[in-house]
Amino acid sequence: MVTSRDVVAISALAEGADTLFAEAALLTQVPLEIVRPFARYADDFVTAAGRRRYQALAAFARKEARLEFAVRSVDAYQAAMRWVVENCDLLVAAWDGAPWGRKGGTAQAVRYARLVGRPVIHLDVERCLVKASSGA
């Protein structure tokens, strides 16, 4: 039986759905664990408000995995995406469902989750639907 103590939210805190997911977790007292793709990740946020929001969420995280990338790169983002998938039991993906996308993006995360047998909850932002798929 899963209890509320067993639930942990995992996120890379990217602007958008990742941030909203992390904020919802903290509001409902679900512990947050994060991954930082590269050393100066906070600088990747476009606005000062975005950086402050990221830094506030990072400060509330109970754990932070720091990947060894020094600078922003597609490989750093892909490694962070893989870290999230490999460390979760269920991937929640807010995504338009488009099969293409950038390396390390949501489409690739969903494909990787399915490849390694993780169940996926797809929040289809285009059709306003929720879809579930098993990891098997």
Mean pLDDT of the chain: 93
CB atoms within 10 A of CB 11: 23
pLDDT at site 3: 60
Cα–Cα distances (Å) from 106 to 30, 48, 86, in that order, read 22, 25, 14
Q: How far, in Å, CA of 38 to CA of 92, rounded?
A: 23
Q: How far, in Å, CA of 64 to CA of 33, rounded?
A: 6
| Rounded average pLDDT over 39-44 | 94
Residue 104 has pLDDT above 90, yes or no: no
Q: How far, in Å, CA of 53 to CA of 128, rounded?
A: 26
Residue 103 has pLDDT above 90, yes or no: no
Query: Confidence class of residue 99 from pLDDT cuts 50, 70 and 90?
Result: confident
Cα diameter, the chain: 43
Q: How far, in Å, CA of 37 to CA of 122, rounded?
A: 23
| Rounded average pLDDT over 105-116 | 94
pLDDT at site 88: 96
Residue 136 has pLDDT above 80, yes or no: no
Amino acid letter, residue 90 = L
- pLDDT tens per residue, range 49-94: 999 999 999 999 999 999 999 999 999 999 999 999 999 999 999 9
3-state helix, strand, coil in the chain (%, to 5): 40, 25, 35
Q: How far, in Å, CA of 62 to CA of 49, rounded?
A: 22
CATH topology of domain 4-133: Rossmann fold (3.40.50)
